Amino acid sequence: MTFRRIRILLLLGVFAAALSLNWLEQWMVRAWQGPLDVQVVPINFDGSAEAAAAIAALDARDFEEVNAFLEREIAGYGVRVSPAASFAVKPALHTLPPAPPQGGNVLQVMLWSLKLRWWVYRQSGGGLPQLGTIRLFLLYHTPREEGVALPHSLGLQKGLIGVVHLFSDPRQARQNRIVVAHELLHTLGASDKYAPDGLPLYPQGYAEPELPQGPRRVAEIMAGRFVAANGEAVMPDSLERCVIGAQTAHEINLDAAFRNRFGG
């Protein structure tokens, strides 16, 4: 056998192993047989005192509302796991993850995804990967002027990684948790359900999609907003006014979990 063929076989073996690990990891987190293992890693994005104070005060109990939301919503699909997610706050990092390409093509996005996953591996100290562990990197920002948006948060299903941009103002803690829950569900396979203008897509981005399109007071979590009476997209004030809709439930395997437990 030539060296070239050996090299090709080795590369194919590495590729097959990566696919197998990814499948195993997704099966572990999407089986809904036990709590999601979530590591929260805070980062002071702008080096501000406000962000440092928010990180110093961060505690696993700050994510109880996210867990309560998950428990309530998955129970609606027949899955009862308590806690639905186990959150652990890790020591703060002082380096930023690689920024995603602005308007990049598919190749650039793929290369950035690999860079991000390599960065996460290095920050975790190397060694064998912790299969089934979701890592959410929370990047805290100084409060800005009203109407100034944060960089776009993201969640990757491959690698179970979330990069979440949050305000450090304690008054925005409950809305921060909506963003955390949104990106957490991205790592499980949920897709966004809003249009480029920020309005929820109908029907999949609406709570109670069986009702006619129009104003709501509750948001589908992957739309992140609901349409108010004035026609504007409004972010709810807490996770108590968010739901996991049927399409999102299908994407994160809740319907399969329901069938596995109860048949049908």
Burial 245-262, CB ≥16 within 10 A → b, else e: bbbbbebbbbbebbeeee
So what's the pLDDT on residue 223?
96
Contact 112, 100 (CB under 8 A): yes
At residue 17, the pLDDT reads: 45
| Alpha carbons within 13 A on the beta-carbon side of 209 | 16
> Looking at the domain assignment, is residue 20 inside a domain?
no
At which of 189, 211, 235 does a domain end? 189
Q: How far is CA 154 from CA 56, 136, 145, 189, 211, in A?
A: 24, 10, 23, 12, 30
Does 202 map to a domain? yes
Half-sphere exposure of 128 (CA within 13 A, CB side): 4
Asked whether residue 119 is domain-assigned, the answer is yes
pLDDT at 56: 96
Could you give phi then psi for residue 113, rounded to 5 degrees? -60, -40
Whether 149 and 111 share a structural domain: yes
Q: Confirm whether 4 is domain-assigned.
A: no
User: Considering the domain boundaries, does residue 211 fall inside one?
Assistant: yes
Residues 71 and 127 in one domain: yes
Print the domain residue range for 257.
Answer: 191-264
Check residue 128 and give its pLDDT: 58
Please report, for the domain that includes residue 67, its CATH number.
3.40.390
Residue 220 pairs with which residues in a beta bridge?
243
Residue with tokens 């390409």: 101
Phi/psi class of residue 245: alpha, beta or left (left: φ > 0; alpha: ψ in -120 to 50)? beta
Which residue type is seen at 264? G
What whole-number distance in Å separates Cα of residue 79 and Cα of residue 77? 6
**Token code pair at residue 85:** 């997610």
Is 207 found in the same domain as 162? no
In the chain, which stretches have pLDDT less than 70?
A: 1, 3-25, 27, 104, 126-129, 145-148, 256-264
**216 and 253: one domain?**
yes
Task: Looking at the structure, tell me whether residues 79 and 47 fall in a common domain.
Answer: yes
Given this model, what pLDDT does residue 6 score? 58
Q: Is residue 12 part of a domain?
A: no
Same domain, 58 and 93: yes
Structure confidence at residue 164 (pLDDT): 97
Last-in-domain residue among 154, 189, 224: 189
Q: What's the Cα-to-Cα distance from 258 to each of 69, 72, 75, 237, 250, rounded to whole Å? A: 18, 15, 10, 30, 10
Chosen domain end from 159, 189, 219? 189
pLDDT, tens digit, 9 for 90 and up, residues 237-247: 999 999 999 99
Are 54 and 129 part of one and the same domain?
yes
Tell me: do 86 and 199 sit in the same domain: no
Specify the pTM.
0.87
Spatial separation of the C-alpha atoms in residues 85 and 64, rounded to whole Å: 9
For the chain, the domain total comes to 2
Q: Are 239 and 152 in a shared domain?
A: no
User: Is residue 6 in some structural domain?
Assistant: no
Q: Are residues 144 and 210 in the same domain?
A: no
Q: At what angle do helices 64-75 and 173-187 cross, to 10 degrees?
A: 50
Is 209 part of any domain?
A: yes
What pLDDT, on the 0 to 100 scale, is given for residue 264? Answer: 52
Helix count (H) and strand count (E) of the chain? 7, 9
How do residues 133-143 score in pLDDT, each as one tens digit?
A: 999 999 999 98
**What is the pLDDT at residue 29?**
80
